[in-house]
Structures are given as structure tokens and as C-alpha cells.
Amino acid sequence: MLLYQNKKRKVGNGEKTLFWKDDWFESGALRYRFPMLVELSLGKDMSVAEIWRLRWGVGGGGWQCRRRIFV
């Protein structure tokens, strides 16, 4: 469970929490903090659990983009 700005969000297993769109991160929805990454992402509607399963570390499958970010 995350607590911030008098809000609570229980992520649980992450299956019902969208990584980019839901307000699960301490500073709010990631789409507002990183709009250009969301635009490049192929997984705009992926859950936290889906990205975790695909690995969200460097080189992980959870970070699939329309084009290379760093050239």
C-alpha cells in the first residue's frame, strides 16, 4: 500500500493497476511525469504485473518502444 498526499493506493499483485495510467506511484500517474516515454511505449495499457513479468530492468521486455530512445 502506498501513502502520499492523503491518498492510499493498494497495488496488490499489480494485475488491475495500469503502469502508465493509474495513480500508483508516489508522485502520481507516470504518464504525467514522463509523457515522452509514454508516447514512445508500445505497452501503454500494460499493468504493473505485466511489465514486472516481462522484466522492467535494463533490457527487459517491459520497455518496448516504437523506436530506439538512445542512439
The structural domain count of the chain equals 1
Cβ count near 51 (within 10 Å): 21
**What is the DSSP code string of 21-48?**
TSS-STTS-HHHH-HHHHHHBS-TT-BH
pLDDT at 70 over 70: no
* Residues ≥6 apart with Cβ < 8 Å to 68: none
Enclosing domain of residue 19: 2-53
Tell me which DSSP letter residue 9 carries: E
Q: Confidence band (pLDDT; 50, 70, 90) for 2?
A: very low
pTM: 0.68
Q: Is residue 59 part of a domain?
A: no
20, three cell numbers: 502508465
The confidence score (pLDDT) of residue 6 equals 53
* pLDDT for the residue 8: 58
Residues 13-41: tens digit of each pLDDT: 889 899 899 988 777 888 999 898 888 88
